[in-house]
């Protein structure tokens, strides 16, 4: 089977990571792959904040958990939305046109590149709850989100702990072909 197709079909969301950093060279290659994603009208209207400092990752986690609680979501205060991964990438974009689709392409490229290099990843949407706990300006400053950009989502990366989970069944009858 083609290596790219095999990587896409074998990628899973990993929710348990080893306490071991990703080598800088590999992290740079994964980020580069993200930046080579297609974008509407080649706007490349995205920004990535790469966090590898455990204390900073834990701080962002704590704010997100507190925001979820404030929003009314029942969550364990000791939960870690990043599953203790050694790297978190927060993605933001200019809110205009197809920015959400563009970000989707970036994050998928990152996930596939990580898998192809032997790392696990998990796309995280709960970072949006940061804004329910803290002031937007403070969160944007913490995450180095540029002025005029809005937080979209995050992805955590690292060496998987244990085996990859089995694939979930795919839904049927979701494709129609028109001749």
Q: What is the CA radius of gyration of the chain?
A: 17
pLDDT per residue as tens, the chain (179 positions): 899 999 999 999 999 999 999 999 999 999 999 999 999 999 999 999 999 999 999 999 999 999 999 999 999 999 999 999 999 999 999 877 788 899 999 999 999 999 999 999 999 999 999 888 778 888 999 999 999 999 999 999 999 998 888 889 999 999 999 99
Instruction: Please choose, from the candidates 152, 28, 21, the residue with its C-alpha nearest in 3D space to the C-alpha of residue 95.
Output: 152
List the chain domain ranges. Answer: 47-96+115-158
Say how far residue 68 (Cα) sits from the centre of its chain.
Answer: 18
Residue 89, helix vs strand vs coil? strand
What are the tokens at 118?
């032997």
Query: Is the domain covering 47-96+115-158 a CATH 2.30.110.10 domain?
Result: no
Query: Which secondary structure element, helix H or strand E, spans residue 92, and what is its range?
Result: strand 87-94
The pTM of this model reads 0.94
DSSP state string for 8-43: HHH--B---B-S-PPPHHHHHHHHHHHHTS--GGG-
């Amino acid at each position: 089977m083609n290596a790219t197709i095999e990587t896409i079909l074998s990628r899973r969301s990993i929710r348990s990571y080893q306490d071991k950093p990703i080598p800088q060279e590999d992290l740079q290659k994964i980020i580069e792959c993200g930046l080579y994603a297609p974008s509407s009208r080649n706007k490349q209207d995205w920004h990535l904040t790469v966090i590898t400092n455990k204390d900073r990752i834990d701080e962002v986690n704590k704010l997100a958990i507190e925001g979820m609680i404030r929003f009314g979501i029942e969550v364990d205060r000791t939960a870690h939305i990043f599953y203790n991964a050694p790297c978190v990438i927060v993605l933001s974009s200019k809110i205009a046109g197809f920015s959400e689709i563009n970000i989707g392409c970036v994050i998928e490229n990152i996930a596939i590149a990580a898998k192809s290099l032997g790392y696990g990843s998990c796309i995280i949407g709960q970072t949006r709850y940061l804004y329910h706990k803290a002031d937007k300006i403070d969160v944007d400053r913490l995450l180095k989100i540029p002025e005029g950009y809005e937080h979209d989502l995050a992805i955590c990366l690292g060496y998987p702990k244990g085996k990859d989970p089995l694939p979930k069944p795919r839904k049927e009858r979701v494709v129609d072909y028109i001749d």
